[in-house]
Amino acid sequence: MLRLVQVFTIVVTGAIFAAVNQVVVKPYLDEIFHIPQTIRYYNGNWSYWDPKITTPPGLYILAVAYAKILSLISTNFECNVRVLRSFNLIGQLVFLPWVLSLFPLSHHSLSARTTVMLQLLPPLYFFTFLYYTDMWSTIFALLSVALALRSTRASWISVVVKMLVGTMAIALRQTNVIWVSYAFAVEILTVLVYPDEKGKDRADDAWFMAASAKLEDVSAPSDLIRAGVGAIVRVWRALRGNKRSKALKILCSYSFTIGVFLLFAIANGGITLGDKDNHVAGIHLPQLFYFSTFACVLSIPTIFPVISQTFNILVYRPFTFAIATSIIIVAIYTTTVAHPFILADNRHYTFYLWRKCLNATPWSRYLFAPGYGVALYIIFARAVRKGRILTSVVFFCACAAVLIPSPLIECRYYIVPYMIWRMRVAILNAEGLDTRRENKVGEYVEIFWYMIINAITIGLFLGYSFEWPSEPGIAQRFMW
């Protein structure tokens, strides 16, 4: 059945790509910035830079290399809209599954079933067919994390590779510096904190036990503090012992890339390149609530048993749940941001979500607070409860650092954190409970769920258009 799903996905993806290029011939939305910039680079004009572009030129550099290769094997070649869009198609069908296959389990790689599911992740799959930065930004961000997880026997060659991958990830999207930093932290945990030198549980080493404790064992805030102190002690012992070389390699793999980016941010007065007025960082705590809800909705088939267990827990802890809901309401009241793009651009689903749900009345946004509490608990605690405390804390911090500063509600921003979270769930299940039939059935249902969402969103994009009075004759289309 899996082979059938894979073949079906490839065939349908190719057909959708052809349909998009037949219906949407000219650059659409952000493509009006990305495509002309890339074509100028392809023609040798490397000095021009469109001030409206907010991301670094990593995508353009990669796409120019791709186009140059195609020009060598094709006569009468032209770097055009279709060619540049096909670059993302290659990323979807070839490089994304390869990167996903690198994420390690105890005895094997991520299952092909999970790989297909993540390839079909609706927001990412949609932008397979347009020349946006999301596909390759996601590929390199995930590759940086995958290399960190596989670095138990790192060589100096791998150090250079990780440095180049991290640099390219940031060159594709500035916020990927958070995921490169996350990879840095994950590698420290994987190489210096978690390994057991004796090959068995070291019950005699209290700091090892504290640092390696699982999230389900947390009973008080002091457990988190002990885990953090335990990690520091473990790293200190590693540096004093026989792991100095490994620690140096880890430092070299990430410090240069992160350091150069920090210098750039200081010199630039921020991380945004252009259109700074519309991309001002702030404190937008509800982003965590939106992301958690987004993740729960997309993964309903897999986490459904967790949802029922979560409600049972909330019934027995109503006071704790009430306090959490109150905190969420305060966060909504004090830090909700209504970005001008959300208020004005009716081509995006978030425009209608904001107008019809979150801002339908002055108090409607607060009605979602209990649901946000459940979603947060599922995503950051319940669904990954068998994972280690520190791994979960590092992931939560990375999500917070990526999402909270952003004033704009964009489902595209949730792609990388969701994929890392979803792989963590799959890995934890595979290492413990993957023999249960319901896990496999759940993932197949999730694949079908993604296909339904993709069919709806792409069908609307291709089959329905409208015009703005200010831009007569120009077709506008719905999209993520």
CB 113 within 8 A of CB 66: no
Indicate the pTM of the whole model.
Answer: 0.92
Closest CA to 466 of 477, 457, 458, 456: 477
The whole-number pLDDT of residue 434 equals: 42
Q: Are the beta carbons of 273 and 265 closer than 8 angstroms?
A: no
Q: Which two tokens stand for residue 361?
A: 């009345």
Q: CA 112: distance to chain centroid?
A: 19
Per-residue pLDDT of the chain (480 residues), as tens digits, is 778 888 889 999 999 999 999 999 999 999 999 999 999 999 999 999 988 898 999 999 999 999 999 999 888 889 999 999 999 999 999 999 999 988 876 555 677 888 999 999 999 999 999 999 999 999 999 999 999 988 766 678 889 999 999 999 999 999 999 999 999 999 999 888 888 765 544 545 777 888 888 888 887 788 888 899 989 988 888 888 778 888 888 999 999 999 999 998 888 877 777 666 666 678 999 999 999 999 999 998 888 777 777 777 777 788 888 999 999 999 999 999 887 777 778 888 988 998 888 988 889 999 999 999 999 999 988 888 888 899 999 999 999 999 999 888 889 999 999 999 999 888 887 766 444 444 678 888 999 999 999 999 999 999 999 988 888 888 899 998
278 exposure class (CB count in 10 Å sphere: 0-12, 13-18, 19+): middle
| pLDDT number for residue 147 | 93
CA 260 to chain centre: 23
SS3 388: strand
Q: What is the pLDDT of residue 269?
A: 77
Note the pLDDT of residue 195. Answer: 80
Query: Do strands 471-476 and 466-468 pair parallel, antiparallel, or not at all (unpaired)?
Result: antiparallel
Spatial distance between the Cα atoms of 449 and 235, rounded to a whole number of angstroms: 43
Alpha helices in 173-219 (DSSP H): 176-188, 206-211
Q: What CA–CA distances, in Å, run from 207 to 21, 202, 391?
A: 58, 9, 16
Residue 318: Cβ within 10 Å count = 9
Structure tokens at 374: 């459940």
What pLDDT was estimated at residue 153? 66
Contact 437, 103 (CB under 8 A): no
